[in-house]
Chain A
Amino acid sequence: MAAEPAVRIRDLRIALPPGGERAYAVDGISFDLKPGEIVCVVGESGSGKSMCAHALMGLLPDSVAIETGEIAFEGNNLLALDEDGWRDLRGRRIAMVFQEPMTALNPLMRVGDQMMEMFEAHGLLSPRERRQKALSLAREVGLPDPERIVRAYPHQLSGGQRQRAMIAMALALEPAVLVADEPTTALDVTTQAQILKLIRDLQRNRNMAVMFITHDFGVVADIADRVVVLRHGQIVEQGSAKAVFSNPQHAYTKALLDAVPSMIPPRRAPLMDRSKAVEVIGLDKTYVTAGGWFRPDRMVQAANEVNFSILQGETLGLVGESGSGKSSVARLVMRLIGADRGTIRIGDVDLTKLEGKALRDQRRRIQMIFQDPFASLNPRRKVGQIISDGPIAHGTDPKLARQRARDLLDMVGLDGGAMERYPHEFSGGQRQRIGIARALALDPEILVADEAVSALDVSVQAQVLNLLEDLKTRLGLSMLFITHDLRVAAQICDRIAVMQRGVIVELKPTATLFAAPEHPYTRELLAAVPGQQKPVSLSA
């Protein structure tokens, strides 16, 4: 702990272009990065955490300007550097790992060539040595079969492998500081756990200083030595991970920690003597991409013999990693895509048998809440229209429908003035509320929520979850809740179905599933949820 800090940030202030929400992206922050230490910078979206990372790399966009402050790296002020100075430093002394491993790698270059480019850019080593080095790096970050993988193109690698390749590139020149900007956010939990471990191990072996940007307190608990909590560009709290987690000082930190859903499912009254709201029997769906004349067709099985039912007033969770087919099942149940085989019953109506007008009439009984609050509302229609369009299509008098839309907005916690505004005027959480109001406008019996809170910040996520839970009880709805986040699932679901490669491998009441997972995949998933070693949530 006595080591000289590798990076000292003092009173850094970055001005945003005028006319924005606030004047400064980052407002007077100071902290140190020491060798052999992982500093987690945590904050919700818009807190300025990514700006910190980009300032440290000299990658700020032209529209923002550093007003005051100092970033000292090994005694030199980085802010005084010119572009040549930066180029010399970047990669060699300070390296970065980006969030999106898909877009951060050049899709037209072999992975090994991209690693070798790191040396080439700094004029180091001979081509032969570079190749050797790329191989040893690939081995060090745990890429399987390094000889083969350095010759592969990025699209031939999985998300986790791509992120490993990115880390290998960042480590190539043995930098003193590694900046990781949400490096695991785009990954599945099991992959995330592996990458976190990799970063931790490499940092220990090489005695690097790591600045780790994240919004996920679970990740922070797993990896951080020190924590810096940002809000609106200001540091509200910093300290050792232990101190921040066991004894948070600032109310905001407490609120954030509180908002992290607990891994322990709350007690739920068992549902007895209820009729089935939805019954799904033997659902099959295979996506076929035509391969052309000389290649075989590509087949992906999204749903294979999927069976489940949801009782009235019950919430069934559908969890799994990306590509497990959970979203496909949601869309199959909604009949947004057609099933190859199988039956979907809503009450006593077989939805798969209906077409045209009959289908449109029955659809009002099952409504959907979508994942992306920014893509799920038509940017060119007013909120009032968005909500009342559905009922009007089903023959409700427009005046009544608008009145109802007003009531619904009130019910989801927005005021009636929202009616005349366009979606872009609202925040992500508010937009998701509008999406919920739209789904409720048709008085459905069943709600299908497809990753409905995944795109939201933790505090907003907690509010929206409470809203959903409250509405569900008040209106007696059944819900199919699709999520990749087991913490969220633990809090809201009565029963949980675990999906892997289109198959439901385990379906049990939530408490039983968490207490005694049977299938190996379920166990793997549960073990990979970050932040279980230390108690993250205060309520737990």
Chain B
Amino acid sequence: MKQFWKQMSRNPSGLIGLTILLIAIVLAVFGPLIFPNSPWRMIQRPFLPPFTLSAVPLGTDALGRDVFAGIIYGARVSLLVGLVSTLAALAVGVPLGAIAGYFGGRIDDALMRFTEFFQTIPSFALAIVLVAILQPSIYSIVGSIAIVSWPPVARLVRGEVLSLRTREYVQAAIVTGQTSRWIIWHEILPNALSPVIVLASLMVATAILLESSLSFLGLGDPNLISWGYMVGAGRTVIRQAWWITVFPGLAILISVLGLNLVGEGLNDALNPRLARDGR
């Protein structure tokens, strides 16, 4: 663990990403305490440009709602959707991949064909269809993002497990009479974790983008403000009021960038072959 932090701290871009992520999380958690106003409330005249009034630093939208408050509240939704859908995708993909890789043979074939079934459908189209059928709500959005994003996890875990299961320490565990479940859980998965963590950090970023795209198309949760919804709502007036779309757009860009940087930093820190100088 100490080694890990040492590696991570030596990686400036990873640290920048981590800082961005921490700021976003702090804003999402504590922002609503600082801005008790609901982002849906009209507090000023519409189309107020940014940097004119200190009370509404980023201006107002077509209905006179505070853009800054929208971004703060939107951070909650975006991060929540990103994290929860990634966790859900891991919960499906990791066990499936581990079982396929460990047992191999027919089980592997069956599970991988099932995975390919999901991989062959364009993920965004599938997400749209799922949300449209299930009615837009935070649950259906999280669920559909998870459903379209677990196959790569399963593939990755399967590959790792395939190589780890031939290791001698796994054979030693089989020989000492451990059950398959115990071996997967205690011997294999801990050693397969690093690439999964890296993939997960990148999946959070993808999930945020997916949620934004869904909201942009009007398939967001109607009760929750989100960055994608704001961009979508402001797009018709982009020539008169650029700030309504640009600021939430920047928020998406920066948080996704931050997550990607963290992902790369994690990759370097957890992959000693790349990080350490060759001896």
Give chain A's interface residues, CB within 8 Å of chain B: 61-63, 331, 334, 336, 360-361, 363-364, 366-368, 370-372, 375-381, 386, 389-390, 393-394, 435, 438, 441-442
Contacts and interface: CB of A to CB of B under 8 A. Distances in A.
B177 A394 contact: yes
Interface stretch (B147-155, B184-192, B204-212): B184-192
Given A331-B171, A389-B176, A438-B176, 4 more contacts: A371-B168, A381-B187, A390-B177, A441-B176
Contacts of B173: 378, 389
Given A378-B187, A378-B191, A380-B190, A336 B171 contact: yes
A435 B168 CA distance: 11
B125 interface: no
Contact of A376 (B168, B177, B190): B168
Mostly, the B contact residues are helix
A393 B179 contact: yes
A376 B176 contact: no
Interface string B80-121: 000000000000000000000000000000000000000000
B277 A62 contact: yes
Contacts of A389: 173, 176, 178, 186
Mostly, the A contact residues are loop
Contacts of A381: 186-187
B29 interface: no
A135 B40 CA distance: 83
B168 A363 contact: no
Of residues A366, A367, A372, A375, which shows the largest number of chain B Cβ atoms within 10 Å of its Cβ? A375
Contacts of B176: 363-364, 367, 389-390, 393, 438, 441-442
A441 B277 CA distance: 39
Contacts of A360: 177-179
B172 A63 contact: no
B278 A375 contact: no
B167 interface: yes
B239 interface: no
Nearest to A360: B177
Task: Please give me the 5 A-B residue pairs with the lowest Cβ-Cβ distance, nearest first.
Answer: A390-B176, A376-B168, A360-B177, A370-B168, A378-B169
A289 B254 CA distance: 50
Nearest to B178: A393
B168 A63 contact: no
Interface in B169-225: 169, 171-179, 182, 186-187, 190-191
Contacts of B174: 336
A61 B278 contact: yes
Contacts of A435: 172
B279 interface: yes
A270 to B, nearest CB: 31
18 contacts: A61-B279, A63-B277, A334-B175, A336-B175, A360-B177, A360-B178, A360-B179, A361-B177, A368-B175, A370-B172, A375-B167, A375-B169, A376-B169, A378-B173, A389-B173, A389-B176, A393-B182, A441-B176
Contacts of B186: 381, 389
A367 B175 contact: yes
A441 to B, nearest CB: 8
Given A378-B187, A393-B179, A370 B278 contact: no
B167 A363 contact: no
Contacts of A361: 177
Nearest to B278: A61
A357 to B, nearest CB: 9
B160 to A, nearest CB: 14
A438 B172 contact: yes
B171 A368 contact: yes
Nearest to A374: B168
B117 to A, nearest CB: 24
Contacts of A442: 176-177
A62 B278 CA distance: 8
Contacts of A334: 175
Contact of B168 (A62, A372, A386, A390): A372
Contacts of B172: 368, 370, 376, 435, 438
A171 B182 CA distance: 54
Contacts of B182: 393
B59 to A, nearest CB: 52
Nearest to A372: B168
B2 to A, nearest CB: 13
Contacts of B175: 334, 336, 363, 366-368
A378 B179 CA distance: 16
Nearest to B176: A390
Contacts of B279: 61, 63
A394 B169 CA distance: 18
A375 B277 contact: no
A102 B176 CA distance: 34
A334 B173 CA distance: 12
Nearest to A361: B177
Contacts of B169: 375-378, 386
Nearest to B169: A378
Contacts of A379: 191
A481 B173 CA distance: 20
A371 B169 CA distance: 11
Of residues A331, A334, A378, A380, which shows the largest number of chain B Cβ atoms within 10 Å of its Cβ? A378
Of residues B168, B173, B174, B278, which shows the largest number of chain A Cβ atoms within 10 Å of its Cβ? B168
B225 to A, nearest CB: 43
A68 B237 CA distance: 74
Nearest to A336: B171
A501 to B, nearest CB: 23
Contacts of B171: 331, 336, 368, 370
Contacts of B191: 378-380
A63 B175 CA distance: 41
Nearest to B187: A378
Nearest to B193: A380
A389 B182 CA distance: 10
A97 to B, nearest CB: 21
B102 to A, nearest CB: 14
A389 B173 CA distance: 8
A334 B171 CA distance: 10
A330 to B, nearest CB: 10
Nearest to B189: A380
